[in-house]
Amino acid sequence: MCPLDHSPSTPSKTSSAPPQHHAAGLARAWPQEGFTRAPYWVYLDAQTYAREQTHIFRGKHWHYVGLEVEVPTPGDYKTTYIGEQSVVLTRADDLSLNVLVNRCAHRGNMVCREAFGKAKKLYCVYHAWSFTLKGDLSHAAFSQGLRGEGGLPKDFQLSEHGLQKCRVATLCGLVFATFSAETPPLEEWLGEVAVGIKRVLNRPLKVLGYDTQRIHANWKAYHENPRDSYHANILHTFYGTFGLSRMSQESGMVLDKAGRHVYFYTKAGTEKKSADYEATTAQLRSHNDGLHLEDPSILGWKDEFGDGVSVQILSTYPGFVLHQIAHSLATRHICPKGVGQTDLVWTYFGFADDDEAMTQKRLVQTNLAGSAGMVSVEDAAVCEMMQHAMADAQVGESFIEMGGKELDIQGSSKLSERAIRNFWNHYKEDMGF
């Protein structure tokens, strides 16, 4: 796996970048059907993309920034992103976690250039202003001037020139941050979906590796994907053919009451055949009885969490995914990089008490995930194909009515685009469409 790389990153293994269209002149009215449609310009329009940075990424939401275990001891730091804004996650001497805008309070230079590191202070190379790991300005070079000349004004106060600080909250080792004072407490904001986090992250974590993938598509195309339980058993040959996840198995989908977040799950080995299932899967190219694995160890799975769930994909608004695919565990951080490009940062992990055999099993099954993963490669490919197909569209919109036209339904069927309708509902509200 590649080290974390925040520079223009690893090309995905799919196709080349589509032409960048900024949809100049497109009508920007949302279709009258509302959240059962997403107009194609919303994936293409540069002005809309710029407004998302303010209305969503600096709005009243919690944004994933990392794992506590990535910065375990005083002085540890990690640079990451909230939307396009570079931020630094630090562990201060008092063990507190801090998320600071990576922009010097003097003239806006980046104060932290490495992906990870250890430091006593954050030092801006431009004019040597130094900040504590809590973001307070501790020293400004030549602030008193030299030989009675120069220097900062007499009323200059160090305390008035710190780095911009975010609010920080944690749950089960995940670290989230927000720019807004109005974002509700993290667990309240997560609602019922916190259960899906606590189910997997039930003890101290150990990072196994990273993979950063550049997807040539708008960030929302990827954000829709892991909350799209309808596609999982249709697009992905590996799931259906080899039985890790099928619609014939016991499964379900859980949204929080507000409809911002979702997880869906499948229990392998709980097949219930039915005539309508057989008739449908006979039409699916992803269920291929002619394929067999020379080495089936990638499928080996034991009920690690004691509830029979073999696959759980959890997604929080607007840019975080937690997956359990058999024994492969990872976070995915969706980082927009312009209207038609997205970096997807995968952090693979296990538990601190895993033995070597379990660590190896997690690493082997991680071949299902990531930029070239046998399941996940198809998600990036579809996002890029969508971006290509939409690129010249002056009109048009997606149709999101699988499982009904409502935000809510009775039952928990995965044959539903309910989580996507809920996403667009919140997006419309945040953006004022």
* Residues found near ligand FES in the complex (CB under 6 A): 104, 106-107, 109, 124, 126-127, 129
Choose from Fe ion, ligand FES, none: what does 106 bind? Cβ within 5-8 Å by kind: ligand FES
Which residues are CB-contacts of 113 (< 8 A; sequence separation ≥ 6)? 79
Nearer to Fe ion, 70 or 379 (CB): 379
Nearer to Fe ion, 379 or 384 (CB): 379
Nearer to Fe ion, 379 or 430 (CB): 379
Question: Cα–Cα distances in Å, from 251 out to 102, 263, 312, 377?
Answer: 42, 11, 10, 23
As measured in angstroms, the least distance from the Cβ of 162 to ligand FES is: 12
- Kind of pairing, strands 129-131 and 122-123? antiparallel
Sheet with 122-123, side-by-side order of all strands: 122-123, 129-131, 137-140
Nearer to Fe ion, 52 or 379 (CB): 379
Which residues are CB-contacts of 143 (< 8 A; sequence separation ≥ 6)? 151, 152, 156
Sheet with 85-91, side-by-side order of all strands: 97-101, 85-91, 76-82, 116-118
As measured in angstroms, the least distance from the Cβ of 308 to ligand FES is: 54
Check the CA dihedral 312-239-63-48 and report its sign: negative
Nearer to ligand FES, 123 or 433 (CB): 123
Choose from Fe ion, ligand FES, none: what does 126 bind? Cβ within 5-8 Å by kind: ligand FES
DSSP assignment letter at 58:
T
Residues binding Fe ion (CB under 5 A): 379
Tell me which residue has its CB nearest to Fe ion.
379
As measured in angstroms, the least distance from the Cβ of 4 to Fe ion is: 23
Choose from ligand FES, Fe ion, none: what does 129 bind? Cβ within 5-8 Å by kind: ligand FES
Q: Do residues 384 and 222 make contact, with C-beta atoms less than 8 angstroms apart?
A: no
As measured in angstroms, the least distance from the Cβ of 137 to ligand FES is: 10
As measured in angstroms, the least distance from the Cβ of 264 to Fe ion is: 11
As measured in angstroms, the least distance from the Cβ of 135 to ligand FES is: 13
Q: Do residues 183 and 61 make contact, with C-beta atoms less than 8 angstroms apart?
A: yes
As measured in angstroms, the least distance from the Cβ of 236 to Fe ion is: 6
Query: Which tokens is 141 given?
Result: 């070079």
CA dist 125 and 93 (Å) reads 23
Nearer to ligand FES, 140 or 335 (CB): 140
H or E, element range at 343: strand 342-351
Q: Do residues 237 and 376 make contact, with C-beta atoms less than 8 angstroms apart?
A: no
Query: Which tokens is 225 given?
Result: 């994907």
Choose from Fe ion, ligand FES, none: what does 425 bind? Cβ within 5-8 Å by kind: none
CA dist 181 and 167 (Å) reads 8
Nearer to ligand FES, 72 or 151 (CB): 151
Nearer to Fe ion, 222 or 427 (CB): 222
Exposed, middle or buried by CB within 10 Å (0-12, 13-18, 19+), for 68? middle
Choose from ligand FES, Fe ion, none: what does 124 bind? Cβ within 5-8 Å by kind: ligand FES
DSSP assignment letter at 402:
T
Q: Do residues 309 and 282 make contact, with C-beta atoms less than 8 angstroms apart?
A: no
Closest by CA to 122, choosing from 68, 86, 84, 174, is 86
As measured in angstroms, the least distance from the Cβ of 107 to ligand FES is: 4
Choose from Fe ion, ligand FES, none: what does 379 bind? Cβ within 5-8 Å by kind: Fe ion
Nearer to Fe ion, 61 or 332 (CB): 332
As measured in angstroms, the least distance from the Cβ of 109 to ligand FES is: 4
Q: Do residues 97 and 91 make contact, with C-beta atoms less than 8 angstroms apart?
A: yes
